[in-house]
Amino acid sequence: MKYLYGPVKSRRIGFSLGINLTPHKTCNFDCIYCQLGETGALSLERKEYVKISDIIDELRSWLVNNKESAQSFDYITLSGSGEPTLNSGFGELIAGIRGLTPHKIAVLTNASLLKDSLVRQQILGADLIVPSLDAVKQELFLKIDRPDPNIKIEDIIDGLITLKREFRGKIWLEVMLVKGVNDDIRHIRKLKEVIDRINPDKIQINSPVRTTAQVGALPVAKSKLNKIKFILGDKAEFF
């Protein structure tokens, strides 16, 4: 398979069939905890990195040839090896999937482009959006997510708040916590204030478990994650 992978079980959304919309590590972030390795040159341009019609053709044929496996997962997930919303055709892909199968559609995104009304319009066709938010101040955002410096965390937060107003599906906000980087309790309290404004349906607390882009991006101890979960409230869960 060229663009599809799985079905795989992920800690965040259970069994899903994944779709790659970009070549390996096409991203506008270079998160220190990224499991895909260093980004190299950041990709800022939205374009059809992978042809949407090719993805739809592959999915159509996979569904025809894997009828039994197609019963075994809930979501088709737009994610893979980069930031899916950088593919300018991802809205067209969502519409194409709808025409092929009743499976629910999830999008995993770093939320960097949600300030853009066109991107929000495209993502509204999904059933579940899993955006990331690791910091609420620019300095810390630059340290953990290492984005292009023109990307502002205030814009990401505004985009998430607007998305929640417009989107009829579920939003599960992911917070990746790295020991000694963004797990300070004062930061968690500020994060909580911002998350309350965004009002996601769930808060998924995560911490690195596999090889990461930067050596030393370490997991937070379970006892501290428990404390953080308590601060973030009833919607919070961790894996």
The contact set with ligand SF4 (CB under 6 A) reads 27, 29-31, 34, 36, 39, 82-83, 110
Between 4 and 34, CB nearer to ligand SF4: 34
Contacts of 43 (CB under 8 A, 6+ apart): 22, 26, 27, 28, 49, 82, 83, 86
Spatial contact of 105 and 123, defined as CB atoms under 8 Å apart: no
Shortest separation between residue 113's beta carbon and ligand SF4, angstroms:
11
Spatial contact of 173 and 191, defined as CB atoms under 8 Å apart: no
Between 103 and 146, CB nearer to ligand SF4: 146
Between 63 and 108, CB nearer to ligand SF4: 108
**Hey, what amino acid is at 236?**
A
d(Cα 44, Cα 49) in Å, to the nearest integer? 12
Shortest separation between residue 35's beta carbon and ligand SF4, angstroms:
7
Rg of the chain over all Cα atoms, to the nearest angstrom? 17
d(Cα 33, Cα 168) in Å, to the nearest integer? 31
Shortest separation between residue 75's beta carbon and ligand SF4, angstroms:
18
Shortest separation between residue 110's beta carbon and ligand SF4, angstroms:
4
Between 84 and 89, CB nearer to ligand SF4: 84
Shortest separation between residue 27's beta carbon and ligand SF4, angstroms:
3
Spatial contact of 75 and 9, defined as CB atoms under 8 Å apart: no
Between 63 and 217, CB nearer to ligand SF4: 217
